[in-house]
Amino acid sequence: MADLVDVLERARDMISQPNAWEQGFEARDVNDVPVQYWAGAAVKWCAFGAFCRAAVDLQGIYPDDAYLKRIDLERLAGFPVTRFNDVPGRTVEEVIAMFDTAIQRAKDERYDLSLERARLEQERALEAVA
């Protein structure tokens, strides 16, 4: 199953496509009509809509459950992502940079967790020998 880094990378890639970033709604179709982010007709997304769509696509979760993942995204970004995305004058490059920061933080956390896991396994091995 895809992890948080995979979801963040997919979301970043989605909005990196030409004309695929959106402000004001979670998603829009080819006619610029607002649609649900999980709709097959969606072709452009805000940062949060792209993140939720990526979570649904990669992790197989229900759309309502994707909203709960907002906690992860905002923790890694360091601020409310929807407000950040929708600031007048915001650029897609700034939103992509936000995703890059969140991706790096998620990778750092994953690395920290793997180091902690290795340390605990080493301690258990030493205890078993003692």
45 has which bridge partners? 21, 27
For the chain, the domain total comes to 1
Examine the pLDDT at 123 and tell me if it is beyond 70: no
Q: Which domain holds residue 79?
A: 4-129
- Between CA 63 and CA 103 the distance in angstroms is 22
Q: Which pLDDT belongs to residue 58?
A: 92
Higher pLDDT, 111 or 73: 73
State the Cα angle at 70 between 9 and 31, rounded to 5°: 70
* Confidence bin at 115 (pLDDT 50/70/90): low
